[in-house]
Amino acid sequence: MVLHYYLVSYDVSDSKRLRLINRVLKGFGEGLHYSVFRCDLSRRGRVELVAAIEEVINHVEDRVFIVDLGPVDGSVEGRIIFLGKKDERRKRGAVIV
């Protein structure tokens, strides 16, 4: 199963839908910055993500931007540039619970 790295950003005008879309995206990936998420998904996962988003948003008032950055094979990291405060979450090693 090939996973792809998706960058998902949203602009939701209603506070209730904003909380709902944030909850949906937390179930599929990790937050990077305010309304921007990274989701590593299979084809099926992407279809499920789109379906979950479509159930929440108002298609007239809201926008969701999904970008497929390609397979999660390490090369995707070279296509992403963070400026300013670094994303410390990606630098952590394994966490044992």
Instruction: Quote the pLDDT of residue 97.
Output: 44
Residue 33 lies in a domain: yes
Residues 18-37 have pLDDT tens digits of 999 999 999 999 998 889 99
Claim: this prediction has a pTM higher than 0.85: no
CA angle 47, 49, 55 (to 5 degrees): 105
What is the residue whose two structure tokens read 């979450």? 89
Quick check: is 58 in a domain? yes
Is there a domain that residue 40 lies in? yes
Q: How far apart are CA 5 and CA 16, in angstroms?
A: 27
pLDDT digits (tens, 9 = 90+) for 34-92: 899 999 999 999 999 999 999 999 999 999 999 999 888 877 777 777 778 766 655 54
Specify the CATH number for the domain of residue 39. 3.30.70.240
Residue 96 is assigned to a structural domain of this protein: no
Residues 6+ apart with CB under 8 A from 19: none
pLDDT at position 79, please?
A: 74
pLDDT at 94: 46
The residue segments making up the domain with residue 13 are: 4-91
The number of folded domains in the chain is 1
* Nearest CA among 45, 3, 42 for reference residue 24: 45
| Four-CA torsion 33, 34, 35, 41, nearest 10 degrees | 40
Q: Please indicate, yes or no, if residue 86 is contained in any of the structural domains.
A: yes
